[in-house]
Amino acid sequence: MGALPAHLENSDTGRSLLDPFGRAITYLRVSVTDRCDFRCVYCMSEDMAFLPKRDLLTLEEIDRICSAFVDRGVRKLRITGGEPLVRRDIMTLFGSLSRHLDSGVLDELTVTTNGSQLARHAKELAACGVKRINVSIDTLDPEKFRRITRWGDLTKVLQGLDAAQNAGLKVKINTVALKGVNEDEIEALLEWAHGRGMDLTLIEVMPLGEIDGQRIDQFLPLSLVRARLAGRYTLEDLADRTGGPARYVRVKETGGRLGFITPMTHNFCESCNRVRLTCTGQLFMCLGQEDAADLRAPVRASESNELLERSIVDAIARKPKGHDFIIDRRHARPALSRHMSVTGG
Ligand code: SAM
């Protein structure tokens, strides 16, 4: 193994992970399963082939990898999927990771979920130190919800939301803007979310993985949505960046916050602080590129973390500058073969 590049060596100033462009990696997103109890039309095809269970990292291995990142300066962990709350015994992972919140080395442990299992897990999440969660809801119309998710039940998700808010969790709603599907509902979603004290973030659909249908038919540029909303509401730009790609506005009439995630019309790579771990231990340094580093082999090769740490440092040294997604008629195939459920949205 060669010497580390000088800027990645441990130094007196700390053991933080800096990529070749000087960006500090402080945020790890972990997809704990590629399975989901929904089949959202823009996310998955109906007959998805899932990974064999033996390929998955155990919860203990996920904890080890997360802890190695925390040890190198990661301050925020997001558990995602697939649907993270369908993974068996997932609460033991939240329970064990919460020690890093207790010791103060981690600022935030959070989760992105479709909400279907929140009714039974909300209290325990709060007990594990989770303060804020993201819940994905694209429509408030039960039939449309079923059409978009193929298998989802809106009533159950709304019960989950109630449970989350009753447990004291702050909720942000994520909505993928879909042409001709929910574009007429954005105002209603905004009024509803802000009325319940929840932020709303709108997301542009990204060309990840084969789905049944054409991306171009789903794609709705948020520049258009924003222009329409501006006709009805006063949108005041906010400087808040919550360490993520969303740009926020305050909606004066509702008092709530509205976020825009625009990977298609405006990419946000220059401030990227994150990397993504899949449930099989692949580390993706960029959501929009194919390159990944295997962390499962070093975890399994030895009980000490030396190899693992070296692999992490080497991987961060390969983090690319950014990505360019394209959706148009000439690019009918997905930009990337993997689905969002692999790397966790
Ligand atoms: N199951 C959880 C959920 O529903 O939030 C976590 C995983 S899901 C892949 C995370 C987010 O990615 C969801 O908000 C989902 O709507 C979004 N998503 C999935 N596929 C996407 C795509 N192709 N483009 C944009 N967002 C996508």
Using a pLDDT cut of 70, give the percent of the chain over it. Answer: 87
Rounded distance between C-alpha atoms, residue 33 and residue 280, angstroms: 8
Torsion sign, CA atoms 219, 224, 230, 235? positive
> 341 C-alpha vs ligand 1 centroid, how far in Å?
7
Say whether pLDDT at 114 is over 90.
Answer: yes
Say whether pLDDT at 19 is over 80.
Answer: yes
Rounded distance between C-alpha atoms, residue 191 and residue 13, angstroms: 46
Which residue would you say has higher pLDDT here, 126 or 215?
Answer: 126
DSSP code string of 248-269: EEEETTT--EEEEE-TTTS--G
Give the pLDDT confidence of 184-214 residue by residue, as tens digits: 999 999 999 999 999 999 999 887 777 777 7
Q: Is 113 in the pocket of ligand 1 (CB under 6 A)?
A: yes
Q: Is 114 in the pocket of ligand 1 (CB under 6 A)?
A: yes
> 12 C-alpha vs ligand 1 centroid, how far in Å?
39
What pLDDT score does 22 carry?
A: 94
What pLDDT score does 32 carry?
A: 98
What pLDDT score does 12 carry?
A: 36
Say whether pLDDT at 285 is over 80.
Answer: yes
Query: C-alpha angle 242/246/247, rounded to 5°?
Result: 95
Which residue is it, tokens 């992105």?
A: 112
Torsion of CA 128, 57, 288, 75, to 10 degrees: 30
Q: Is 160 in the pocket of ligand 1 (CB under 6 A)?
A: no
Per-residue confidence band for 322, with pLDDT thresholds at 50, 70 and 90? confident
Cβ atoms 194, 187 nearer than 8 A: no
Q: Which residues make Cβ contacts (< 8 Å) with residue 99, sequence separation at least 6?
A: none
Q: Is 83 in the pocket of ligand 1 (CB under 6 A)?
A: yes
Give the pLDDT confidence of 135-178 residue by residue, as tens digits: 999 999 999 999 999 999 999 999 999 999 999 999 999 999 99
What pLDDT score does 206 carry?
A: 83
In the chain, the N- to C-terminal Cα span, in Å, equals: 33
CATH topology of domain 27-326+335-342: TIM Barrel (3.20.20)
Per-residue confidence band for 313, with pLDDT thresholds at 50, 70 and 90? very high
Per-residue confidence band for 243, with pLDDT thresholds at 50, 70 and 90? low
Rounded distance between C-alpha atoms, residue 43 and residue 170, angstroms: 25
Which numbered atom of ligand 1 lies nearest the CA of 44? 20
Q: Looking at ligand 1, which residue's alpha carbon is closest to its atom 8? A: 345
* Residue 23 known to bind ligand: no
Q: Is 208 in the pocket of ligand 1 (CB under 6 A)?
A: yes
* Residue 279 known to bind ligand: no
Say whether pLDDT at 15 is over 80.
Answer: yes
What pLDDT score does 330 carry?
A: 54
Sheet holding 199-204, edge to edge: 235-237, 247-251, 257-261, 199-204, 170-177, 132-136, 108-113, 76-80, 27-31, 274-277, 282-284, 292-294
Q: Is 327 in the pocket of ligand 1 (CB under 6 A)?
A: no
Q: Is 245 in the pocket of ligand 1 (CB under 6 A)?
A: no
- DSSP E strands, 90-226: 108-113, 132-136, 170-177, 199-204
Per-residue confidence band for 334, with pLDDT thresholds at 50, 70 and 90? low
Query: C-alpha angle 323/327/330, rounded to 5°?
Result: 115
Number of residues that make up the chain: 345
Cβ atoms 154, 145 nearer than 8 A: yes
Q: Is 342 in the pocket of ligand 1 (CB under 6 A)?
A: no
Which residue would you say has higher pLDDT here, 217 or 344?
Answer: 217
Give the pLDDT confidence of 47-89 residue by residue, as tens digits: 889 999 889 999 999 999 999 999 999 999 999 999 999 999 9
Using a pLDDT cut of 90, give the percent of the chain over it. Answer: 73
Which of 30, 203, 220, 333 has most ligand 1 atoms within 8 Å of CB, for mutation?
203
Of 80-89, 258-267, 304-313, least confident by mean pLDDT is 258-267
Which numbered atom of ligand 1 lies nearest the CA of 43? 20
Radius of gyration over every alpha carbon of the chain, rounded to an integer in angstroms: 20
Please state the domain extents for the chain: 27-326+335-342
> 42 C-alpha vs ligand 1 centroid, how far in Å?
8
> 192 C-alpha vs ligand 1 centroid, how far in Å?
20
* Residue 274 known to bind ligand: yes
Q: Is 218 in the pocket of ligand 1 (CB under 6 A)?
A: no
* Residue 96 known to bind ligand: no
